[in-house]
Amino acid sequence: MSDMIGKKVPEFALPVSSGGSISLADYEGENVVLYFYPKDMTPGCTTQACDFRDWTADFEEENTQILGVSPDSLDSHQKFIEKNELPFPLVADENKELADAFGVHQLKENIGREYMGIVRSTFIIDESGTIVQEWKNVKVKNHVQETLQYIKDNLKSS
């Protein structure tokens, strides 16, 4: 299930930092940047979240909402949001149900140790709920601008 482009997003309902639960149906008629990251408060994840924060208004101009997803708890997400003033919700995927559905919960290796972890990945979902672009093993530098440029070039805002 590595190539998700052209597929409808699997149905999900997961707890979200803004309260209650969230599903893609909540964003019908809008584009969504769904980005998966390994862990709150770590350097790369913080940089990535702050980059999305700094560009949120530009995404909104393109009728696009940002959703961050990690296996962290809602409590962890809340601290991460407050510390970095994040204007978008973070999804608590504690059972890695969404990460598995998107194929980003994979075997990783660090200093010779193998473990299951989240591969930093971004998916662009259009207004009809179809995945139109994906990036796996994302390098944080300039990624947010690349994502925004793809949306500007390929998705018409309504």
Catalytic residue numbers, as ranges: 45
151: nearest Cα among 58, 48, 35: 58
* Residue 152 backbone dihedrals phi, psi, to 5 degrees: -60, -40
* Residue 135 backbone dihedrals phi, psi, to 5 degrees: -130, 130
Task: Measure the CA–CA gap between 32 and 22, rounded to whole angstroms.
Answer: 13
Which residues, 6 or more positions from 142, have their beta carbon under 8 angstroms from its beta carbon? none
Please say whether the beta carbons of 129 and 28 come within 8 A. yes
Task: Measure the CA–CA gap between 105 and 156, rounded to whole angstroms.
Answer: 31
* Beta carbons within 10 angstroms of residue 14's beta carbon: 16
3-class state of residue 89 by DSSP:
coil
